[in-house]
Amino acid sequence: MKLNFIPTILFISCSLISCQQHTTREETKKTVQGLVVELDSNAYKLDIAGKQTKLFRLENKNGVVAYITNYGARVVSLAVPDKNHQPTDVVLGYDSVKSNQKKGEPFFGAIIGRYGNRIAKGKFNLAGKTYQLQLNDGVNTLHGGYDGFYAKVWEAKKIDNQTLALTYLSKDGEAGYPGNVNVQVVYTLTDDNGLKIDYTATSDKETVLNLTNHAYFNLNGEGSKTILDHELTIAADGYTPVDKTLIPTGKIERVKGTPFDFTTAKVIGKDIEAVNEQLKSGKGYDHNFVLNKNDDSAPVTIVKSPKTGIVMEIYTTEPGIQFYSGNFLTGTDKDGKGGKSYPFRSAFCLETQHFPDSPNQASFPSTVLKPGQTYSTSTTYKFKVDKTKE
């Protein structure tokens, strides 16, 4: 499979920043599982290198509410109805932008770029030239390096109550990557309770690009202590095994008969402690699954909470998805929303993507973006309630 390219795209000007829909403390108040949790919009206001960070609120006709900051284009909060029709915040995050700036912050809710996931030794060859990237994950580059999109102030324009467009210009040489890359990410809260993320980008020089969102989910409600009780289905007959530094070996192995078989619904905790070298390498699940993609109208992943009855379906144009079971969360601080801590395996990520280390793996789907082409991809996280849990 190759990246989807379309000939042209209308970009919303990076110079436009919404100054119309300022959030207030009253607007950011929401009820989560009977508890009032308040997001202080002032805590999301910060001047970073002359650019202002802000918090934006989206709401659909069903009362589903999302909060997004232009710092890292991050999803801060997403409140969806549970089986008792109560709004439940299913996304982990912080109470302030300053917490997102901490060293070692786990990319909560951020747009990841230029390259989601890992690149071996931070190197790749392109058009006869070797590029050296920032090493921020041992000997490898992770999520674009220490100067990635997750740490940038994006230009933002609120299109309507359900749509937010964010743009960023990544200059030639930023974090070691070639080309001036114009990126646009549009978040839309759909009327069928989906959070749709549309990504587009162009470059003036041949480069590599692999964008994703790094939301951490707990369908029991953020701050709940485990996701091991969640039921997971992934429409993938294969996955890409990794070495001890979590770089793909280049092989695609079958999931059948292994702990990685989620082709039928399985509780996440069922096999996570199995004696398996791959699980040992990732301290649990931290692997790319090769999606079957037999039907683009069907969800590639389904997750269910037995506690709230909330079901999340994922639809994507991407060929892969990274399932990460929150193995590096520690719960050592209480910077989470409302002073919560987020301990080991208290959230999962399902990051739609091209494969890790694709620039160094000729057999993987290409992530090369050339001048004159437009990178275009879309992912939707859709929420509903399992009626059998009511």
pLDDT of residue 12: 37
pLDDT of residue 185: 98
Query: Which band of pLDDT confidence, cut at 50, 70 and 90, is reported for residue 27?
Result: very low
Query: Which band of pLDDT confidence, cut at 50, 70 and 90, is reported for residue 13?
Result: very low
Assigned fold of 231-377: Beta-galactosidase; Chain A, domain 5 (2.70.98)
CA distance to 25, 91, 126, per residue, from 353 (Å):
35, 19, 20
Q: What is the spatial distance between Cα 223 and Cα 339, in angstroms, rounded to a whole number?
A: 9
Q: What is the spatial distance between Cα 346 and Cα 240, in angstroms, rounded to a whole number?
A: 24
Q: What's the predicted TM-score (pTM) here?
A: 0.90
CA distance to 87, 225, 288, per residue, from 30 (Å):
8, 21, 35
For residue 22, pLDDT beyond 80: no
Q: 29-213 and 231-377 share one CATH topology?
A: yes
Catalytic residue among 143, 155, 174, 214: 214
For residue 10, pLDDT beyond 60: no
Vertex 201 angle, CA 235 and 252, to 5°:
30
Q: DSSP code of 345?
A: T
Assigned fold of 29-213: Beta-galactosidase; Chain A, domain 5 (2.70.98)
214 is annotated as an active-site residue: yes
pLDDT of residue 40: 80
In three-state secondary structure terms, 249 is: coil
| Per-residue exposure over 176-188, b if at least 16 CB sit within 10 Å of its own CB, e if not | bbbbebbbbbbbb
pLDDT > 90 in the chain, percent: 81
For residue 39, pLDDT beyond 90: no
Largest interatomic CA distance in the chain: 59
pLDDT of residue 371: 98
Write the pLDDT tens digit of every residue in 274-291. 999 999 988 999 999 999
CA distance to 282, 287, 337, per residue, from 249 (Å):
14, 12, 38
351 is annotated as an active-site residue: yes
Amino acid sitting at position 361:
Q
Catalytic residue among 174, 231, 351, 354: 351
pLDDT of residue 1: 40
Write the pLDDT tens digit of every residue in 196-245. 999 999 999 999 999 999 999 999 999 999 999 999 999 999 999 999 99
Residue spans of the domains in the chain: they are 29-213, 231-377
